[in-house]
Amino acid sequence: MRAPEVIRPAGPGGEVAAALADLRHTRRTEWRRLWFRFRQSTLSLVGLGIVLAVVLAAVFAPVLAPYPGHAGSVVDFDRALQPPSVRNLLGTDDAGRDILSRILFGARISVTLGVVVLAIAVAVGVPLGLVAGYRGGAVGNLIMRVTDVFLAVPPIALALAVTAALRPNLTNAMVAIAFAWWPWYTRLVYGQVLSLREAPFVEAARGLGAGPWRIAVREILPNAWSPIIVKATLDLGFVILTASGLSFLGLGAQAPTPEWGTMIAEGRGYLPGAWWAATFPGLAIFLTVLGFNLLGDGLRDVFDVEIEHWRAGS
């Protein structure tokens, strides 16, 4: 690097060190402010609570479940279809397995499934959207038309078709749902990139000599993350719902996997008598989807304010 015009060795160095020390504090304040804004909405906090509960259940299922074995192939027909009691807080199913334990392990499946599916959808969808939006032209057109085709089919139908074609199991269900889900991210990112492409700070980057990849990833993408994060959070709930739906139809997780949808399918026949067998897994799905929805909404509210801040130039 060419020597700068004026060399002040002590000055900038000392300032930089001091600024770095301040930075840690500043970062903490910024997080705290986000948290404060998030806290304003009770519903968002409820959502966060539910999501945390589900994640904890998933992580600590082996420890929390009173009958961990029941999540596998252990059966106990003597205890089949027992109503909720002190011994089985949520009752037992038709194979005598503790429903609570199975639900906890089901959380593990659902959360893993949700995260994996969305990771794939984002990893595939976002770069495609970036390329389509920034490069444009024939390539962009091609990508978006393919995306359009996928978007024309309802995701559940698409996932159904794919699983039906492959052997029905959980892994294939995950692949199928990811297959159906990526186009939404492409479309979302495409729109974001189009609007950001002409922004002055992007032009400034071009003026510096930055190449298109650098601009797409370092300038545009960080500004597009908010809607992606919000959508991913909301989607987690819906992906879980879709997976449960597939399992319910017998096309996803197979017995004896304690997936919530499968459990509902198994317990459905015993309604309304042994209502607990189908109802509690159903409630688990409902609460989980609700939780992610509320959390996603809360995140969106927080991010919206941020976006308004910089858009208004304030």
Partner 1 sequence: MALVETHDLVKVFPITQGLLRRRVGEVRAVDGVSLAVPDGGTLALVGESGSGKTTTGRLIVRLLRPTAGRVLFEGQDITALDEAALRPVRRRMQMVFQNPASSLNPRRRVHEIVEEPLLVHGIGTPRERLLRVAELLDRVELPPRDFLFRYPHALSGGQRQRVAIARALALQPRLLVLDEPTSALDVSVQAKIVALLRRLQQELGLTYLFISHDLSLVRNLADVVAVMYLGRIVEMAPAAAIFSRPRHPYTRALLSAIPVVSADEARLLPRKITLSGEIPSAARVPPGCAFHPRCYARRGECDAVQPALLPVDGAAVRCLLYDPAFGAPGLPEEQPGRVTGSA
Partner 2 sequence: MTAAPLLAVEDLQVHFRLYEGRARVLNGVTLAVGEGESVALVGETGCGKSITARAILRLLPPNAEVVAGRILFRGRDLLRLPEDALRRVRGREIAMIFQDPATALNPVFTVGEQMLDVARWQGAGAAMPWARRNRDGEVRQRCLEALRLARVPDPEGILRRYPVELSGGLRQRVLIALALLGRPALLIADEPGTALDVSIQDQILQELRDLVRGRGLAVLYITHNLGVARMVADRVYVMYAGEVAEVGPPAALFDRPLHPYTQGLLAAVPRLTGTMGAGIEGRIPDYRNPPPACRFAPRCPHRLPVCDQVRPPLGPVAAGRAVACHLYPPVAPVPAGSAGARHGAR
**Chain contacts with partner 2 (rule: CB under 8 A):** 33, 36-37
Q: Which amino acid, one-letter code, is at 52?
A: L
* Region near partner 1 per CB under 8 A, out of 57-65, 110-118, 137-145, 196-204: 196-204
Distances (CA, A) of 89 to 261, 263, 295: 20, 16, 28
CA 248-160-127 angle, to 5 degrees, is 120
All residues at 6 or more sequence positions from 92 whose CB lies less than 8 Å from its CB, including other chains: 76, 79, 80, 81, 82, 98, 99, 277
- Please choose which of partner 2, partner 1, none residue 23 contacts, taking the beta carbon within 5 to 8 angstroms, the exact cut-off set by kind: partner 1
Q: Least Å distance between CB 51 and partner 2?
A: 25
- Please choose which of partner 2, partner 1, none residue 210 contacts, taking the beta carbon within 5 to 8 angstroms, the exact cut-off set by kind: partner 1
Look at the alpha carbons of 200, 215, 232, 57 in this order and tell me if their dihedral is positive or negative: negative
> Which CB atom, from 37 or from 79, has the smaller least distance to partner 2?
37
Q: Least Å distance between CB 28 and partner 2?
A: 15
From the list 46, 156, 164, 210, which residue makes contact with partner 1 (rule: CB under 8 A)?
Answer: 210
Q: Is 168 helix (H, G, I), strand (E, B) or coil?
A: coil
Distances (CA, A) of 139 to 146, 150, 189: 11, 17, 16
CA 174-67-60 angle, to 5 degrees, is 55
> Which CB atom, from 77 or from 201, has the smaller least distance to partner 1?
201
From the list 86, 138, 272, 313, which residue makes contact with partner 1 (rule: CB under 8 A)?
Answer: 313
Q: Is 204 in the site for partner 1 (CB under 8 A)?
A: yes
Q: Is 137 in the site for partner 1 (CB under 8 A)?
A: no
> Which CB atom, from 85 or from 141, has the smaller least distance to partner 1?
141
CA-wise closest residue to 74 among 101, 95, 103, 105: 95
CA 291-297-299 angle, to 5 degrees, is 100
* Region near partner 1 per CB under 8 A, out of 40-48, 165-173, 206-214, 271-279: 206-214
Q: Which amino acid, one-letter code, is at 42?
A: T
Applying CB under 8 A, which residues contact partner 1? 1-2, 4-6, 8, 11-13, 15-16, 18-20, 22-23, 26, 199-201, 203-211, 214, 219, 222-223, 225, 309-310, 313-314
